Amino acid sequence: MRGLGTIVNAAAVIIGAAAGLLIKGGLPKRFEETILSAVGLAVIFIGLGGALSGLLVIEDGALAARYTMMTVLSLVLGAVVGELLDIEKRLDGLGRRIKARMPEKLAGNSFVEGFVTASMLFCVGAMAIVGALEDGLNGSYAILFAKSLLDGISAVIFAASLGVGVALSSIPLLVYQGGITLLAQALRPLLTDALIGQMSCIGSILIVAIGVNMIFGKKLKVGNLLPAIFFPAVFALLGSLFPGLPL
């Protein structure tokens, strides 16, 4: 069944968040803040690991950078498209609309922050992209099942600090990963290992940005950078049409 991996992933987030909400009531505020900072630090290093493994390669016994132009252009053009669409504001607005329909006591003050932060963390990164593609192309759920376990554990920690908004991040997760799964067959001709690696690399860079926001406050509009993940596919298409492009 195509899409089963994403359904399981969303369910794991909801279950993990529910467990986190049970813990939340017994955590002093100072514990919540310290735990959130610790998670942010872990997120930064996870993102750095993914980004560096994609950008660096050993050539002739020395480290060399690759995909540099593609990475810069993807982030810049992604930022332009994201600002035009104002994705971050739309995510915030969606979070506020959902919050308005919930009992005030249940939603809490950090609902929108939890919803937006968790949505972006669960939707970007190598496992979200590669897992959704594997689901759509081969009906393989292994990557998304592994991601479900990780996201479920993360949801416990996030919900304990940020509340019920984390559980509702399962909605954009379903739309995002489900959309990639449904589009996978149409994108099959473009989906080389190099392209998937490039998209995963951009996703890892955005994970670093999420970690920075978690530790230092909302400094980066990560939501408005989300289109950057898909620009490597655009460049791959242009490269097939114009082989001389230096991307």
Q: 109-152, pLDDT tens digit by residue? A: 788 888 998 998 899 878 898 889 889 888 888 999 999 998 99
Q: What is the pLDDT of residue 167?
A: 93
The β-bridge relationship of strands 56-59 and 62-65 is antiparallel
pLDDT above 80 for 12: yes
Per the CB < 8 A criterion, the answer to whether 39 and 154 are in contact is: yes
Quote the tokens at residue 151.
């996201």
Cα–Cα distance for residue pair 92/199, rounded to 1 Å: 25
**Residues 6+ away with beta carbon under 8 Å from 145:** 5, 8
HSE (side-chain half, CA atoms, 13 Å) at 242: 7
CA dihedral over 35, 39, 41, 42, signed as positive or negative: positive
Least confident of 27-31, 154-158, 192-196: 27-31
Indicate the domain borders of the chain: 4-241
Confidence class for position 106, pLDDT limits 50, 70, 90: low
Confidence class for position 81, pLDDT limits 50, 70, 90: very high
Backbone angles phi, psi at 24, to 5 degrees: -55, -40
Exposure string of 153-192, with b = 16+ CB inside 10 Å and e = fewer, is ebbbbbbbbbbbbbbbbbebbbebbbebbeebeebeeebe
Q: pLDDT tens across 25-47, in order? A: 666 777 777 877 888 888 898 88
Q: Which residue shows structure tokens 């970007």?
A: 124
Quote the tokens at residue 108.
């809490």
Quote the tokens at residue 156.
């416990």
First and final C-alpha spacing in the chain: 36
Per the CB < 8 A criterion, the answer to whether 35 and 157 are in contact is: yes
Quote the tokens at residue 243.
């082989």
Per the CB < 8 A criterion, the answer to whether 114 and 165 are in contact is: yes
Q: pLDDT tens across 88-98, in order? A: 899 889 888 88
Q: Residue 64 forms beta bridges with which residues?
A: 57
